[in-house]
Amino acid sequence: MAQVPSVRDEPLTSSYTWHSAVPEACVSECKTGSGRVPCVLGVDEAGRGPVLGPLVYGVAYCPRDSMDVLKSIGFADSKALTAEKRNILLAALIENHAQMGWAVRVMSPQDISAGMLRKRPHNLNAQSSDATVSLIQGVLDAGVDVTEIYVDTVGDPGTYSRLLQSYFPKHGHIKWTVTRKADAIYPIVGAASIAAKVTRDACIEGWKYIEQVDDKLTDEDGELATGSGYPGDPRTVRYLHETLDPVFGWAGIVRFSWATAKSLFEEPAPKNQDARTRFGTQRPSKTLGYSVRWMDEPVTLTSFFKSTAKKGSRQLATLAAPKPTTCESALNKQKGALWRDLNLSSVGDEGLL
């Protein structure tokens, strides 16, 4: 695979966004003062289902009168094309930089899992919406006059369309088309699909591990045998089983929040299981991994305040008096004697003496 400009050289440990240069055709009329160039934009994703690797959202955009160029290039649903054809189409997207622009949001497995595993989960649909909105906003902020947006839907098309439009109240002129299989219907969405899919494939194929890798899990080419990354792939399931650490879990390529991964922690341990892992961590006796408790939010104070409500009235809560410590109790007992020694009196009904 040729170098993909949207893929970073360093290990993927956090999400990032990459934008191409804005095409000259999208801004040339702005520079001459003859008005803005109406443009169309498409949105699609790649890697929503796998338990391994990033989820990548892509957008592609071009002047509205350049739509025929997209059809002639042959942009279509990336999943229906071979890897070789997808690479050719990405090269075409890059070569036509004067007419077409594109961008991707690469969502790392760590960030996906961190959101989904909160006490109040930021689920995958919400994260997908965030990625879509940020990419569209990035193109608008670059000065592109987007007048039509085509989106491959997440869930119900009508609901998703209303959600996306709510993020852009100042752009009421934009015509939104949110539908299923948009990448097979609209070439601009097909171009976005190519950008997302090729970026994700390049991330997976060139994955850089920052963790120790077991040589026994590599294939004949020396690559780690992860399989396709889908939960139903036996090679992927084998990879998850054989690389699971009961304390640390997996390498950063794994989405810990997927049911396929979470359930492995609770699977019964084999009788002949080693007491320790290759990292030196202690294994549990009955399961493959230890249960995880997520503490990402502050502890709620439940006993610090008490109510002093009276009959027929509601009063503000008052601060509960803390229980005196042993030292405080001893001081209270000796307080009278201390005051006498210092020639002081307490404040009582008589007032200060």
List binding-site positions. 44-45, 152
Please check whether residue 43 is in contact with residue 136, taking contact to mean a CB–CB distance below 8 angstroms.
yes
Residue identified by tokens 């070789």 is: 84
d(CA 276, CA 76) in angstroms, rounded, equals 50
d(CA 224, CA 220) in angstroms, rounded, equals 9
d(CA 58, CA 17) in angstroms, rounded, equals 10
Q: Which residues pair with 150 in a beta bridge?
A: 42, 177
Please check whether residue 117 is in contact with residue 19, taking contact to mean a CB–CB distance below 8 angstroms.
no
End-to-end CA distance of the chain: 92
Cα distances from 254 to residues 126, 166, 177, 178, 204, in angstroms, run: 20, 33, 33, 30, 11
Closest CA to 177 of 189, 166, 168, 193: 189
The secondary structure of residue 1, as a DSSP letter, is: -
Q: In what order do the strands lie in the sheet with 55-63?
A: 16-19, 101-107, 55-63, 38-46, 145-152, 175-179
Cα distances from 264 to residues 114, 255, 277, 278, 306, in angstroms, run: 18, 13, 16, 18, 44
Tokens of 268: 């019964």
Cα distances from 226 to residues 107, 262, 310, in angstroms, run: 19, 17, 66
What residue numbers does the annotated binding site for a divalent metal cation cover?
A: 44-45, 152
Tokens of 347: 């404040």
d(CA 313, CA 308) in angstroms, rounded, equals 10
Three-class SS of residue 158? Answer: helix
